[in-house]
Amino acid sequence: HLDRIEAVDGTVGAFLHVAGEQALAAAGQVDADLAGGAEPASPLAGVPLGLKDILTTTGMPTTCASKILEGWVSPYESTVVGRLRAAGIPILGKTNMDEFAMGSSTENSAFGPTRNPWGTDRIPGGSGGGSAAALAAFEAPLTIGTDTGGSIRQPAALTATVGVKPTYGTVSRFGLVAAASSLDQAGPCARTVLDAALLHQVIAGHDPRDSTSIDTAVPAVVDAARAGAQGDLTGVKVGVVRELHSDSYQPGVLSSFDAAVAQLKALGAEVIEVSCPAFEHALAAYYLVMPSEVSSNLARFDAMRYGLRVSDDGAHSAEQVMAASRSAGFGPEVKRRIMIGTYALSAGYYDEYYGQALKVRALIGRDYARAFESVDVLVSPTSPVTPWKLGEKVDDPLAMYLSDLCTLPTNLAGNCAISVPSGISADDGLPVGLQIMAPALADDRLYRVGAAYE
Ligand code: GLN
């Protein structure tokens, strides 16, 4: 994989940092342990992985693809990374992303975009475009992403790979640099559903260092993936979400989705249409809740304790240094969200915007609850569009936000979803993804249905 990175990453741009020596040392340790007669630490011992550059690591930088954290090396490691290391998984390096996970194309990285291996003039999705492209370009067999509004699933769809947003609270956020704390969740990315399940098993589990971590057993995702691979969905009820099937989606995406539904039926599933009316407002609610939390979380980048500090002749007071550093260190999308969030949370607007968004969020949760009374999983396209050309939407944030339509409800409700490859679009020959959503703590259903479909 290091050779492959060397050969193709100059074009793909999936990695921000490659930790070749450390990865080889970790792999060598696995070999030595096995030669010494030890049991493998996990089924994935020795299988290398790319890590989204928003999870803290000691011994290599964590930048969140931002100039404000350029070169910063964390003094402590995220729980996810600790679990990877304990499982004997060598870390190849850190993957590219939109700055602080804000974006849908990986063009908001301060260190240059990632390109889609399916067409290098195309974006790979975002914010975790590096993690998805590394899989599609065979630079890594496994990667970790984070999903606040779709950043694992949408890039998976756009690169024909598999990505899972686990139930909120089941994968520790300790050491995951926070964008929107009530939405963020790390998850597995891979080229097959079973690989994703094996990785899911490694990273999920209770962590007393994360106050939102749920103290419950991880669903049996590996068993579910193996059972699903038998290809029998008899007795499984699948709901097609009416509000996530619109004429505004690309025709090739819709026809791929309709074919996927037909295939689920052919596998024995019972398919019914369900309505989730509040989903129509998910985009508006998300783009208030998310920036509001961002505006608070990113206040920590104050140039006082760590990160970029700009103190030229004009900046004397602490406030002036903060302003100069944040102006120079944050990119345009990050600034836009801090401003939207600060506005939405300010006295006089709080009830009208933030409070209203929270009400919509609760309604979305209720729509899911009602739907899951009659079906086991819900399905939709993962993204309404296939990968677009680099530069096409950079000046139009709203057009960019619209590509998240189908993935946002899951984060707002805190439940789980997977994106699995669903062929290529008849419009342009580019990848399409099928999204499967399940109730909180029923992540195993994603793997059962995903493995049957893939
Ligand atoms: N594209 C969405 C956004 O820009 C989702 C990001 C994410 O999941 N981190 O906010």
Kindly state the tokens that stand for 254: 């819709």
Counting residues of the chain whose pLDDT is more than 70, the rounded percentage is 100
- The three-class DSSP label of residue 389 is strand
Domain-wise residue ranges, the chain: 2-282+357-453
Using a 10 angstrom Cβ sphere, with 0-12 exposed, 13-18 middle and 19 or more buried, the burial of residue 54 is buried
Residue 80 pLDDT > 80: yes
Q: Is the dihedral of CA 344, 345, 346, 349 positive or negative?
A: positive
Atom of ligand 1 nearest to the CA of 102: 4
Kindly state the tokens that stand for 87: 């499982």
Any atom of ligand 1 within 6 Å of the Cβ of 290: yes
- The three-class DSSP label of residue 147 is coil
Residue 28 pLDDT > 80: yes
Is 52 a catalytic site residue? yes
Mind listing the pLDDT tens digit for each residue in 228-259? 999 999 999 999 999 999 999 999 999 999 99
Other C-beta atoms within 10 Å of 331: how many?
19
The pick from 106, 148, 396 for probing ligand 1's pocket by mutation, whose C-beta has the most ligand atoms within 8 angstroms, reads: 148
Atom of ligand 1 nearest to the CA of 179: 9
Residue 52 pLDDT > 90: yes
Return the pLDDT at 311. 81
Cα first-last separation, the chain: 25
Any atom of ligand 1 within 6 Å of the Cβ of 106: no
Strands 431-438, 416-424: pairing kind: antiparallel
Any atom of ligand 1 within 6 Å of the Cβ of 282: no
Any atom of ligand 1 within 6 Å of the Cβ of 293: no
Q: How far is the CA of 159 from the centre of ligand 1 (A)?
A: 17
Q: How far is the CA of 82 from the centre of ligand 1 (A)?
A: 25
Mind listing the pLDDT tens digit for each residue in 186-207? 999 999 999 999 999 999 999 9
Mind listing the pLDDT tens digit for each residue in 146-166? 999 999 999 999 999 999 999
Any atom of ligand 1 within 6 Å of the Cβ of 158: no
Return the pLDDT at 420. 98
Any atom of ligand 1 within 6 Å of the Cβ of 104: yes
Residue of 42, 78, 151, 425 with catalytic role: 151
Q: How far is the CA of 156 from the centre of ligand 1 (A)?
A: 13
Using a 10 angstrom Cβ sphere, with 0-12 exposed, 13-18 middle and 19 or more buried, the burial of residue 302 is middle
Any atom of ligand 1 within 6 Å of the Cβ of 128: no
Buried b (16+ CB within 10 A) or exposed e, 368-392: beebbeebbbbbbbbbbbbbbebeb
Helix intervals (H) in 237-396: 251-266, 282-297, 318-329, 332-345, 356-374
Counting residues of the chain whose pLDDT is more than 90, the rounded percentage is 98
DSSP 8-state symbol, 228: H
Q: How far is the CA of 303 from the centre of ligand 1 (A)?
A: 25
Return the pLDDT at 316. 79
By the 8 A CB rule, do 322 and 338 touch? no
By the 8 A CB rule, do 184 and 173 touch? yes
Instruction: Decide if domain 2-282+357-453 falls under CATH 3.90.1300.10.
Output: yes
Residue 313 pLDDT > 90: no
Give the mean model confidence (pLDDT) for residues 24-44.
Answer: 97
Any atom of ligand 1 within 6 Å of the Cβ of 131: no
Q: How far is the CA of 131 from the centre of ligand 1 (A)?
A: 14
Largest CA distance in the chain: 71
Q: How far is the CA of 171 from the centre of ligand 1 (A)?
A: 18
Residue 314: pLDDT band by 50, 70, 90 thresholds? Answer: confident
Residue 309: pLDDT band by 50, 70, 90 thresholds? Answer: very high
Return the pLDDT at 312. 73
The pick from 290, 338, 403 for probing ligand 1's pocket by mutation, whose C-beta has the most ligand atoms within 8 angstroms, reads: 290
Kindly state the tokens that stand for 175: 């050491």
Residue of 66, 127, 172, 325 with catalytic role: 127
Return the pLDDT at 395. 93
Residues in the chain: 454
Kindly state the tokens that stand for 208: 């007393």
Instruction: Please give the model's pTM, rounded to 2 decimal places.
Output: 0.98
Mind listing the pLDDT tens digit for each residue in 82-136? 999 999 999 999 999 999 999 999 999 999 999 999 999 999 999 999 999 999 9
